[in-house]
Structure 1
Amino acid sequence: MALHLRNWLADHLEISPRRKAEIYHSLLDSVSLGDISYWLQVLFSAGIATLGLVLNSPAVIIGAMLISPLMGGILANGLAFAVGDLVLGTRAIVNLAVSCLAAIVFAILIIAPIPFKELTPEIAARTQPNALDLFIALFSGALGSIATAKEPKGVVTSIPGVAIAVALMPPLCVVGYGIGIRLSSDVVGISGFQIARGGGLLFLTNLAAITLMSMLVFLALNIGMPEVKSQAIEWHAEDPESRWVQNLLTRLPVTNQLQKIGSLPSRLVVILLPILALLIPLNQAFLRLQTELAQKQEDNALRRLATTIWQRNFANTATGEPRSYISQLSTAAIEDKLTVQLTVFTSEPYTLDDRQQFRETLARQLNRPVNSLDIQLIEILTASNELLARLADDSVAPEPITPDTPPISVSQAQVTLLQTVDKALGTMVLPTPALPLRHEVSTSAINPLTLKIIYLSDRDIGKDAQTLLREDLRNRLQSPMTQVILERVPTFPTPLNFELDLSAISPASQQTLKQVGTILQQQPNLSVDIVARAETLENPVMNENRIKAVQTVLTKTWGINPQRIQSRSGPILKRGERPTVLLKINLKQ
């Protein structure tokens, strides 16, 4: 019955016995170690993938994926498991091992002379695989096996998609990048071992999943029918590499044991064991991702609830006239305390009773004690009528220039311009909690005057507030064509997450530290506070190790003066919570 079903499936996929023999022979040829064109493909695709990763270019990386030289060896390995061909399996494993080693070494050689070794998003994306990547590889392996088995007709168009979905070469090059970083003495703060481990885990996941699915597909198609297996014996006898492997296997005592346990169930167990082992770290990564997504969903639900309560009860006056609207809303949960901060534009200030009523209503909807909820209401009073009146005031006219007035010099004009800008900014107040840091003035033929204001805040100034500020500044400068740019320096960068009992900085945290280091370099009047929070079961010394690791990156990589860095240990996290290091950027005292 099973054999009849397998033959029925092969017939409906138009895979004849002749085609089965062609598949077997082509996969046998694909694992030859003497094929120069294959090794050129391995090296060139590794070079393309490595440079694409370093340059953060998805298009270049996709080009390396489309070459996909490793796919033949993996499918040959799956065929060997399906038909029980020990010689083919040995050749496929050796071919894959040498190919992987060549790709990794070539990636290391490319990374070594490159002066910039930044951790790009394309590299970071391949260092944290999860269980979803395993399922992607399973589906891709099944489709790739079917596409290989069928005659080259319509299904051949799916092969590029399979190559892109599986992406075998980029994870290998990430391993080479991580090892190259590990061997480089001039790179500080990037955990090369962690990068290499993540890329290696992703590659092994793809390798094991494709091998399993190709084995199952080739079994279902009955590729190893007796006629094909008899031809395979002849091919092995004619192939020098196969003969050498056969002679080697006959001299090994373990070969007899392998033949005894080489039944189909045993082969399935052999391929399933590594997948089950890989599921442990993949599932842990998936659970972390699930927790992060759940937190985001919870935060979004809280935002929607707070917005709905405000719009229903506080956005309008008693007569139904519009009174205010929310410009920005943010939430932050620290231990058992929930903070909700609203920035609203309002025509009438809210009283303490209004704030308390909103707090009680929101706490009741959330089923939380009122004292566990902190409401921070930032009000921006609308003053559009006043601003328009100032803009329409033409009572002050510039002094006329008489023919006897001597032209001013460039230096005088520059001093006058800077004094005018300083005077205009001297009395300007940014909406709370934004704090001005500095400003830059530039001129060009395209933009006669550009004014950039750099401010410190945990959120962007609202769009309406930005419009009011720009119009106010243009009016003060009496220059309606002035381009005003508002640039925010974040107060609270993304928290740095750490693995349990480890102080190595992850690739994602490296990106955050890069942003913080750049900000501190550009803004010498800023300092940073570092607060490390360990999990309850961790050794307390982990806080010191993580603080030291962060300080090392900021001081050695970014040249930040240690006096601008303050650090301390924060409250202990509950069991199961992920250890973190919180950063806060402040004005220097």
Structure 2
Amino acid sequence: MTILTILVPLYQSFIQLRQEIVTKQQENNITSAVRNIWQKEFSTSNDGEPRSFINQISTRKVNQQLKIQLHIFTSELYAPEEQNYFIELLANQLNKPPELLSLNLIEIPTAQSDILNAIPEEEPPEPIITIAELQSDFLQEVKSSLLNLKLPPPAKLINYEVITSPNNSMAIRIFYLSQREIDKDAQVLLANDIRQRLNYPLTQVSMKRIAENPGNIAFEENSTVLKPQSLETLDKTASILKGQPALNLKIIANQKPEEATDTNKARAKVIKDYLELKWQINKKRIIPDIGKESQTNAILTVSSEQRTVSS
């Protein structure tokens, strides 16, 4: 496989290589169609004897017109009607109007016996890197460039999104965990640092804060039933967990002294079950814990670290 190296500036090279791959794939498709049609319909005469073989194929696109040039060795020249028929078959194969294709057929007269002895073995097209492989390489380069990226405390970097678009623009969204927003001046400095690391000054940088405490779940006294407002809070929290696999959730369930024994444990369990059953959150990411406050609630805490359940 041909390996294409992503050079700096990183994103400009990615766009250029992506276009080269698309162009190469299109050329391979056209060349393959030309060879297949010629081999099936034109390489032999009516009596089944070898008539011609392709020595060279070249294609180029001028505006909307696809120009095909074929060098062939042949024992019998091809009539205009045959050449037009080739164009019709190729246009149908490529799903293009025949008027947008033109053929320049260069015929080298050769004895039939020479053709039989000289037919070359068809070489498969050289494999090229795919768009998916290029995308993977590009994202790996971005990951390396953003390695050890530091955010101002108490913010913790959780994840980032890389967004590319056909108009050659690139955007990066930083997800961070914090109880407060990173101030504007620090955001500007951080964005400039990211652009410098990527060597692409036009990168659009945005930042999305994830609150460490997404909300508290309130219960009626002596109850473990989730209220509509609590369900809304849990749904929002679950959406965060689904989008950010590195995060875990700690549930600190409380109860008042006069409530039944283990009401707090039951409250933690009903929250845990809701997230597991409705949202398919892995149980290893949900950590129920017993609180010490005299409250009829459960406190939700999002963290990037696995926490130990207290006894």
Band the TM-score falls in, shorter-chain normalisation: 0.5 to 0.7
Match of 2:256 among 511, 530, 535: 535
Aligned residue in 2 for 1:558: 279
In structure 2, relative to structure 1, the CA distance for the partners of 1:447 and 1:516 (3 Å cut) is: farther
Inter-partner Cα distance in structure 1 for 2:172 and 2:191: 10
Aligned-partner residue type, residue 236 of structure 2: Q
1:519 corresponds to: 240
Give the conservation status (yes or no) of the 8 Å contact 1:533–1:543: yes
Mapping for residues 216-255 of structure 1, pairs under 5 Å: none
Partner Cα separation in structure 1 for residue 282 and residue 140 of structure 2: 32
CA deviation map 1:552-574 (0-9, x unaligned): 2101111111121111211141x
Match of 1:584 among 292, 295, 301: 301
**Distance change in 2, residues 1:427/1:525 (3 Å):** closer
In structure 2, runs of 5+ residues without a counterpart are 1-7, 14-18, 22-129, 307-311
Question: Taking structure 2 as the reference length, what is the TM-score of the superposition?
Answer: 0.53
What secondary structure is seen at the aligned counterpart in 2 of 1:426?
coil
Taking the aligned partners of 1:455 and 1:536, their CA distance within structure 2 comes to 38
Contact 2:174 2:206 in 1 (8 A): yes
Q: Does 1:569 align with 2:293?
A: no
Give the number of the structure whose residues are more often strand, by fraction.
Answer: 2
Please name the residue that 2:204 is paired with: 483
Deviation at residue 414 of structure 1 after TM alignment: 3.6
1:442 maps to 2:163: yes
The Cα offsets for residues 420-475 of structure 1, whole Å up to 9 and x where unpaired, read as 42232113101112222222212113461111222222222222211111111112
449 and 572 in structure 1: CA distance in 2 versus 1, 3 angstrom threshold: closer
**Partner in structure 2 of residue 155 of structure 1:** none
Question: Aligned partners of 1:461, 1:493: CA distance in 2, in Å?
Answer: 17
Aligned match of 2:191: 470
Change (3 A) 1:568 1:416: closer
Q: Secondary structure at the match of 2:146?
A: helix
CA-to-aligned-CA distance 1:521-553 (integer Å, 9 cap, x gap): 122222111111112222232112211211121
Matched ranges for 1:282-297 at <5 A? none
Please list the CA deviations of residues 10-32 of structure 1 after superposition, one character each: whole Å capped at 9, or x if unmatched.
xxxxxxxxxxxxxxxxxxxxxxx
Please tell me the residue identity of whatever aligns with 2:230: S
> 1:562, 1:416 → 2: CA distance?
33
Partners of 2:152 and 2:298 in 1: CA distance? 29
1:526/1:501 CA distance change after superposition, 3 Å: same
Q: Which residue of 1 aligns with 2:138?
A: 417
The residue identity in structure 2 corresponding to 1:530 is I
Residue 502 of structure 1, CA deviation: 1.2
CA offset at residue 581 of structure 1? Answer: 0.2
How far apart in 2 are the matches of 1:519 and 1:426?
A: 23
RMSD of the TM alignment (CA)? Answer: 2.4
Give the match for residue 57 of structure 2.
none
1:416 Cα offset (Å):
5.4
Give the TM-score taking structure 1 as reference length.
Answer: 0.29
For 1:414 and 1:514, the matched residues in 2 are separated by: 32
Contact 1:456 1:488 in 2 (8 A): yes
* Number of equivalent positions: 182
Residue type at the aligned position of 1:456: L
Q: Secondary structure at the match of 1:464?
A: helix
Change (3 A) 1:416 1:541: closer
The DSSP-based 3-state class of the residue aligned with 1:445 is: coil
Bigger relative CO (Cα 8 Å, ≥ 6 apart): 2
- Return the letter of the residue paired with 1:584: T
The DSSP-based 3-state class of the residue aligned with 1:495 is strand
The equivalent position to 2:172 in structure 1, one of 448, 451, 454, is: 451
Q: SS where residue 553 of structure 1 aligns?
A: helix
Matched, 1:510 2:231: yes
The equivalent of 1:548 in structure 2 is 269
Contact map agreement 2:252 2:289 (CA 8 A) in 1: yes
* 3-state SS in 2 of match to 1:547: helix
Distance 1:415 1:570, change over 3 A: closer
Matched residue SS, 1:566:
strand
Letter in 2 for 1:483: Q
Identity of aligned residues (%): 35
Q: Distance in 2 between matches of 1:447 and 1:490?
A: 33
The correspondence for 1:495, drawn from 216, 229, 246, is 216
d(CA) in 2 for partners of 1:436, 1:467: 16
AA at the equivalent of 1:583: L
Matches within 5 A, 1:114-153: none
